[in-house]
Amino acid sequence: MINSLATRLQPRLAQFTTDPAEGQVASDDAPALRLGRTIALGLAATLSMAVGSLYGGITFETHLPGAWFFGMPGGLLGSIGSDSMHPPLLAVFAVYGGLILLTRVWIGLLRHLRHHHGVPIRKVILVVAIWAVPFMLAPPLFSGDVYSYAGQGEMVSHHINPYDYGTGVLGSTPFSSMPASVWSNSPSPYGPTFLAFDGALTAASGHKILPDIMLLRLLELAGLALIVAATPSLARALGRDPAESILLGAGSPLALTTLISGAHNDALMIGLLMVGLALARRFGAVPGIVLCAVAAGVKAPAILGVLFLGWWWAGPGASVRRRVGHTLGAILIALCTFEIITAITGLGWGWVHNSTVADHAFTFVTPIGGVSRLVSLAGHLVNVSVTAVSVRSVLAIVGLIVAGIIGAWLLWRSPRDGVTRNLGLSLLVLALLSPILWAWYTLWGILVLAPVASGRLRAAIITIATIEAFVGVTSVRGLLLGVWHAGVISDLILIAALVAISIVPVNQLHASRRRHHTATPDGGRPMAALRS
């Protein structure tokens, strides 16, 4: 009788344990324990990376006097890291071991979400937010670009146009000494949307660089929040699980190490772009086009969003002539938006002409760079003297042409394949075939693709994000030289330790798997396997 009563009450009890926002049955304490393990392992990984970066010094962070509240020469707690270009192997192990662990935990949670749809979005956001805490508290790691942003914001706040001068014009101040030397005489390539925010934040900081850096990091966190807000809408429209999509994109180790730790303004660009796509889907093309144009006012690649929405604007089954007309209309709307932003900020159109400034600082850890080196080596083998730099100059043009052709084909097919999917692929191809590729550039496409990716595309995103996360942590050449100079015994110990981190059982989802295979009295699936 008791069993019969319990059977009748179970559906009613389930109604009271349902999360209205997600429409899923609330979980018991076992799944909460599982998430606790996942949170703890990910937090241990990011904490290891942050501490290891501070100990590694100049290899992983700027290590300039006063560049952060602690860990730097002249900081509150004094210097922690090394000024040597060759980091201590313990620091290398802490950073790369932490990244290996974080990647394993991330992939493990992705696998769980793929098989258990309906996990509340807030739980995934909570997991990722806790993982990110060490990066939010630590100084800017793995890149010093945010110091360049601060310098350009200081220029804007003093009515000095960053499109005409580099940060060196500020004289002897932290705003000019902390950015990389390449930016001292280089004008800004960023659009007026970003520079307007940048100048306002510098003024709000009282023209003090550390508060300014903190505010700039909060700005990029706001950009990441826009990405997280737009992802579920785009995912649900195509029948994808929103929680998995958020973790695949915004929760990836690459996003954590570049958009949060590095505070790159790509977060703001992608956030505005994705909200534009979501608005276009819900309210029509025009508001989406305007917001994509605002995103292009942060960084130029977002202009592709305008083109794709313009092509889609004509509606299903439209003729080519009609699509071209609507695309030209979208471009006109974007130009009007740019003109309004330019008039408000008073910065002018110099950013268009400065869009290739970033090519002054390049790395050969790119598809174009790798092919350039191979061609140069092949030339030397047959006694043809050709430098990798000269080959790269030619291949850079070829790469952009190929990217343009692929992008045009994807634009043509976007009404059939989907605007979000083909726009994301175009942005990813553009990043991979550009003359310069920094790790965070791949996020242009990865974050846009995250709400729509499945199958092989999903696997490709995970692979690219993982590779770029490891490449983007520091200079590959400098790291290899440091490890080489450490000696054979030390190198073997480091390799053995990293391999151990790679293969040691993690089992952060062990509770789920065990409960998933437990039979229920009626022979059905256990409730815990269906819950999040």
User: Span 226-252, mean pLDDT?
Assistant: 94
pLDDT tens-digit series, residues 58-113: 888 888 888 888 877 765 556 676 666 677 888 888 999 999 999 999 999 999 89
Read off the tokens for 189. 């390539």
Is the torsion defined by CA of 406, 412, 416, 420 positive or negative? Answer: positive
pLDDT tens-digit series, residues 332-382: 999 999 999 999 988 888 888 777 666 555 565 678 877 877 877 887 777
Q: How far apart are CA 276 and CA 285, in angstroms?
A: 9
Q: How far apart are CA 188 and CA 386, in angstroms?
A: 32
| Burial track 80-118 (b if 16+ CB lie within 10 A, e otherwise) | bbbeeebbbbebbbbbbbbbbbbbbbbbbbbebbeebeb
Q: How far apart are CA 172 and CA 177, in angstroms?
A: 7
pLDDT tens-digit series, residues 283-319: 999 999 999 999 999 999 999 999 999 999 998 888 9
CA dihedral 404→406→409→411, nearest 10 degrees, is -70
Q: Say whether 354 sits in a helix, a strand or coil.
A: coil
pLDDT at 19 over 80: no
Q: Give pTM, 2 decimals.
A: 0.85
| Burial track 377-408 (b if 16+ CB lie within 10 A, e otherwise) | eebeeeeeeeebeebbeebbeebeeebeeebe
DSSP single-letter state for residue 141? B
Q: What are phi and psi of 502, to 5 degrees?
A: -75, -30
Read off the tokens for 476. 């590959």
Distances (CA, A) of 178 to 83, 152, 154, 469: 15, 12, 13, 24
In the chain, where the domains are located? 28-78+87-139+487-519+526-532
Q: How far apart are CA 141 and CA 144, in angstroms?
A: 7
Which helix or strand (DSSP H or E) is residue 103 part of? helix 89-115
